[in-house]
Amino acid sequence: MAVKNHIQAEVLAPLRVGVVDDLGTSDAFDEDKVRQYLLETFSKIKATEGHNVEIVAGWTWGGVSGLAYEIATAFDWNTVGVACGKVKNSECFPCDRVIIVGSEWGDESDQFLSSIDLLIKVGVDNPSLEPNSSPELKLDVPLVLHIPSHINSYQEDNGC
């Protein structure tokens, strides 16, 4: 009987894409346009990474996090919620994995940033969520997309 050579497949860690916003469930953004931008960006990521991707966001169902999770689920990607304990009072997306850090808003920021490979920001002006903003973190998280809060004025400013 011939001996078969077995190649053990290397298990690669998923690409962890963080999605943040400061809009909550507000109507201050054009949901259709944000959905389209996320869909286009996720499609580019999928073209290179396939199904080995996790979308990491704030565990809430509404707003940009909810859009990101819905698209991720359609792409058959895992979803991860990173939030403080206060989010339990909100409507939460049924993520594949949830990490609760602290009890106050912002307690989760360091954990969130230290656990992602790429960052997609929508209307974020909070310096605590900026890559390399915290000297003790010394993060190098590439920014793949920044969509300003006022999507319509963003489009006009860029001639779109």
What's the pTM value of the predicted model, to 2 decimals? 0.72
CATH of the structural domain 15-157, one choice from 3.30.465.10, 3.55.50.30, 2.60.40.1120, 3.40.50.450: 3.40.50.450
pLDDT of residue 49: 86
pLDDT of residue 136: 37
Separation between Cα atoms, residue 158 and residue 160, nearest integer Å: 6
Separation between Cα atoms, residue 54 and residue 75, nearest integer Å: 10
pLDDT in tens, 78-134: 999 999 999 888 899 999 999 999 999 889 988 998 889 888 887 655 444 444 443
- The distance of Cα 111 from the centroid of its chain, to the nearest Å, equals 13
Closest CA to 110 of 121, 119, 118, 101: 101
- 122, 134 in Cβ contact below 8 A? no
The full set of domain ranges for the chain reads: 15-157
pLDDT of residue 135: 37
pLDDT in tens, 130-146: 444 433 333 344 555 55
pLDDT of residue 78: 96
pLDDT in tens, 8-24: 445 678 999 999 876 54
